Amino acid sequence: MKMWSGRFRQPLDPEFEAWQRSFGFDRRLLNYELQASAAHAKALKNAGILSASELIAILQGLEKIGNDASSDERHAVAQDAAAEDIHHFVEKQLAECIGDVAYKLHSGRSRNEQIATDLRLFIRAAIDHLQSNLAELCFAFVYGAEQAGAAAMPAYTHLQPAEPVLVGHWLLAYVEMFLRDADRLADCRKRLNLCPLGSGAVAGATLPLDRIFMAEELAFTAPTANSIDATSDRDFAVEFVNALSLLALHLSRWAEEMIIFSSLEFGFLQLPESYSTGSSAMPQKKNPDLLELVRGKCGRVIGNATALIITMKGLPLAYNKDLQETQQPLFDAADTVMAMLPLIAGFMKAVEFDYARMQDAASAGFMNAWAAATCLVKKNIPSRQAHELIGKAVKLCIEKNCELGDLPLDELRELSPAFDQDFYECLKPQSVLAIHDVPGGTAPARVRQGIASAKKKIEALREELHAHA
């Protein structure tokens, strides 16, 4: 049975009919549609619209549809050519299963509130899944930081060697980004966790349905506050996909760094063979495909965020069919990021860093220059002057093709009598690392603190997930 044919004199143009359907993509919402329908059915019973036996028939029918779909891959969920959307599909299946009483289920509700509810439930579940993947990913990076121990590497600004840092410090930078991503998703989850059921098509349900009851049934914190907003709002999807864009952007920056560091010229790491491919033409090649695809997919996620927000722009309140177009970018963004996270965690566990080579790179290229200037500052030389003196010393080194530590003391003293034997101590890699002895700095003890605090944050994230499960 069609959902709306009563007032029509002509059938739909078949091409249009096929083109406007959303069942091809919204069928993945089946479980949420079933849960929301069960909550609505119970509210109908409480409102005296369904008898106890009708409610039981409907609930059993809904359960059967869910079981059939999960037990049989070739079930109608994948095949039903006549279903307009997931809401129509469930109604049809229910009627097939329990007869005409199925048509009572739609009493007092609209597909506009249904799709808004299903999408909130979908995103809520997706967030929980992503959070658990993010915890694993953070853990893989923290593990890498622990493994790296005392190994140092260059930190870059403008992609020019700037100062040495511990490899652990560099890896923890990504953990911070991912933890912010997790926090943004948690925040998005808080705001979306309200129940649109009972909002009707736009002006509210036509029956006295208990909205608080339905919200509780679906583990929402409360009903949404305004029926017009609830049926037209997709902020939660926009927020979610934008949070994913930022996460994908972090992954893309990481991928870019790893690609650079894996090049022969840097040689900071060996690409794991299990995550690389060869060239069909050049026998010697091992290509960073995982990293390049991560970088590439970031563009796709950002594209989805853009598609979503542009679809919303200019829509009058409340429901418009344009809103159907928000689903595919949402699903694609969620799928794309969900598939990447475990792969990246696996890649991180498999990648081999060449600590010796990183350490060598950190020991050359005047990366101790700022520490050297600081050494003079501690001897009461004004910092601008200290900067100038070390700049001159670097110029000398460039002429002689050596490092600061290779300059003899008498040559340094020609620049300033402030130079002393202990200056050479300041130039050693351990001393340079140790001077950043503030919270968030790269001194080894600070990095150890960073590791410990990251572990605590990951644990807190896991506990929060546990509470939602």
Residues with a known catalytic role = 158, 279
318: preceding bond cis by omega (within 30 degrees): yes
Q: Which is nearer to ligand ARG, 323 or 458 (CB)?
A: 323
Rounded least distance, CB 202 to ligand ARG, Å = 9
112 binds ligand ARG (CB under 6 A): yes
Which range in 97-105, 178-186, 318-326, 351-359 contacts ligand ARG by CB under 6 A?
318-326
One-letter amino acid at 73 equals E
Q: Which is nearer to ligand ARG, 85 or 233 (CB)?
A: 85
Which span (130-138, 320-328, 377-385, 387-395) binds ligand ARG, by CB under 6 A?
A: 320-328
DSSP state of 49: S
Which range, of 107-115, 267-275, 303-311, 352-360, touches ligand ARG by CB under 6 A?
107-115
Q: Which of these segments, 70-78, 145-153, 242-250, 315-323, binds ligand ARG (CB under 6 A)?
A: 315-323
Asked if 111 touches ligand ARG (CB under 6 A), the answer is: yes
Q: How many CB atoms lie within 10 A of CB 228?
A: 14
Three-state SS string across 238-260, please? HHHHHHHHHHHHHHHHHHHHHHH
Expressed in angstroms, the distance from the first to the final Cα of the chain is: 38
Q: Which is nearer to ligand ARG, 283 or 316 (CB)?
A: 316
SS3 of residue 196 by DSSP:
coil
Q: How many other CB atoms sit within 10 Å of the CB of residue 66?
A: 18
The span from the CA of 113 to the CA of 214, in Å, is 12
Question: Candidates 7-15, 321-329, 331-339, 365-373 — which segment interacts with ligand ARG by CB under 6 A?
Answer: 321-329
How many residues bind ligand ARG, per CB under 6 A?
11
Distance CA 386, CA 364 (A): 21
Q: Smaller CB distance to ligand ARG: residue 42 or 111?
A: 111
Of the pair 25, 156, the CB lying nearest ligand ARG is at 25
* 319 scored as a contact of ligand ARG (CB under 6 A): yes
Nearer to ligand ARG by Cβ, of 35 and 327: the residue is: 327
Residue 68's nearest CA partner among 104, 24, 30, 119 is: 30
d(CA 355, CA 52): 70
- Nearest of 105, 90, 117, 86 to residue 198 by alpha carbon: 117
Least distance CB 21 / ligand ARG (angstroms): 8
Q: How far is the CB of 129 from ligand ARG (least distance, A)?
A: 22
- Does residue 123 bind ligand ARG (CB under 6 A)? no
CB of 22 to ligand ARG, least distance (A): 4
- Rounded to whole angstroms, the Cα distance separating 393 from 386 reads 11
Q: Tokens in use for 341?
A: 């996270």
Residue 109, helix vs strand vs coil: coil
Interaction of residue 115 with ligand ARG, rule CB under 6 A: yes
Question: C-alpha distances in angstroms, 134 versus 139, 208, 260, 346, 348?
Answer: 8, 42, 24, 12, 13
36 makes contact with ligand ARG (CB under 6 A): no
Q: Which stretch binds ligand ARG (CB under 6 A): 46-54, 202-210, 323-331, 350-358?
A: 323-331
Query: For ligand ARG, which residue of 34, 323, 334, 371 counts as binding (CB under 6 A)?
Result: 323
Q: Is 209 helix (H, G, I), strand (E, B) or coil?
A: coil
* Shorter beta-carbon distance to ligand ARG: residue 17 or 187: 17
CA distance 404 to 412: 9
Smallest gap from Cβ 162 to ligand ARG, in A, equals: 51
C-beta neighbour count of 5 within 10 angstroms: 10
Contact (CB, 8 A) for 34 and 205: no
Which residue among 22, 133, 231, 242 contacts ligand ARG (CB under 6 A)? 22
Residue pair 209/40 in contact (Cβ under 8 Å)? The answer is yes
- The one among 33, 54, 85, 163 contacting ligand ARG by CB under 6 A: 85
| Residue ranges in contact with ligand ARG by CB under 6 A | 22, 26, 85, 111-112, 115, 319, 321, 323-324, 327
